[in-house]
């Protein structure tokens, strides 16, 4: 079975989809056949972020309603097929049965080595799906008190609902601002979130959507190195966090 990662957040605007995309690119670059499933109904964005909007003919709703073959709804992102994407429906009228999403994740686990679910922010969808399918739930937060508090609420609920392993990624970190006390200290974010830290992601140009479309995630870049270490740590191997 595939390694299933569930990427979520307590509040919106923390860069959760950027984290999901960067993880997908990193796993694919490491040779793991990877698919990202986008669940943000009505707010599709990963097709643009990964540069496949012209190929997004079918979406998650089409797949679940049986309106296309599964193979037609899974969009290749990389030329070698190492990374693929299932996009969210663009219309808010699309209704999704989350039991069907669970079944889809399990089905794709038979074809891919890594399945990354990019969930909408907030508590509802995460509690319905993550405990049933995810080996690891990654809660993304930014270094501010509101995001940290919301992450803590989400972590607590996930654990109550039986999520196997919950880890924290702190995103959009500008260390100069932390040193100047313009951002919340990372230890405070970790304490408020109540989850083990798995990665700290800097503010970086290569993590913009335009950069993804043009160059993927360069392995030699700071962000590339950060996500490589996150993937290594998720595999259970010890490497130090890359914090600059």
pLDDT tens per residue across span 23-64: 999 999 999 999 999 998 767 789 988 989 888 889 999 999
Domains of the chain with bracketed CATH: 3-234 (3.40.50.300)
Give the residue with greater pLDDT, 161 vs 180.
Answer: 161
* pLDDT given for residue 178 in this prediction: 56
Mean per-residue pLDDT, 178-203: 82
* pLDDT given for residue 200 in this prediction: 93
* pLDDT given for residue 222 in this prediction: 85
* Residue that has been written with the tokens 């957040």 in this structure: 9
* pLDDT given for residue 181 in this prediction: 53
Quote the Cα angle for 22-24-27, to 5°. 110
Give the residue with greater pLDDT, 69 vs 205.
Answer: 69
Residue 240 pLDDT level (bands cut at 50, 70, 90): confident
Instruction: Tell whether pTM > 0.85.
Output: yes
By three-state DSSP, how is residue 155 classified?
Answer: helix
* pLDDT given for residue 203 in this prediction: 84
* pLDDT given for residue 185 in this prediction: 81
Beta bridge partners of 170: 141, 200
* 3-state class percentages of the chain: helix first, strand second, coil last, to nearest 5: 40, 20, 40
């Amino acid at each position: 079975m595939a390694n299933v990662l569930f990427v979520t957040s307590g509040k919106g605007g923390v860069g959760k989809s950027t984290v999901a995309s960067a993880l997908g690119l990193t796993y694919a670059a490491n040779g793991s056949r990877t698919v990202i499933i986008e669940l943000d109904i009505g707010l599709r964005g990963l097709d643009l972020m990964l540069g496949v909007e012209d190929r997004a003919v079918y979406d998650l709703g089409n797949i679940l309603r049986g309106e296309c073959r599964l193979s037609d709804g899974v969009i290749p992102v990389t030329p070698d097929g190492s990374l693929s994407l299932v996009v969210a429906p663009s219309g808010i009228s699309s209704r999704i049965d989350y039991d069907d999403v669970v079944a889809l994740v399990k089905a794709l686990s038979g074809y891919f080595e890594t399945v990354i679910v990019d969930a909408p922010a907030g508590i509802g969808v995460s509690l319905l799906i993550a405990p049933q399918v995810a080996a690891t739930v990654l809660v993304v937060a930014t270094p501010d008190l509101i995001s940290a508090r919301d992450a803590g609420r989400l972590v607590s609920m996930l654990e109550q609902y039986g999520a196997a392993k919950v880890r924290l990624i702190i995103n959009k970190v500008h260390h100069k601002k932390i040193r100047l006390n313009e951002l919340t200290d990372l230890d405070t974010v970790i304490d408020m979130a109540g989850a083990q830290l798995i990665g700290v992601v800097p503010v970086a140009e290569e993590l913009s959507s335009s950069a993804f479309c043009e160059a993927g995630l360069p392995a030699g870049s700071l962000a590339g190195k950060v996500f490589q270490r996150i993937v290594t740590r998720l595999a259970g191997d010890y490497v130090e966090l890359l914090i600059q």
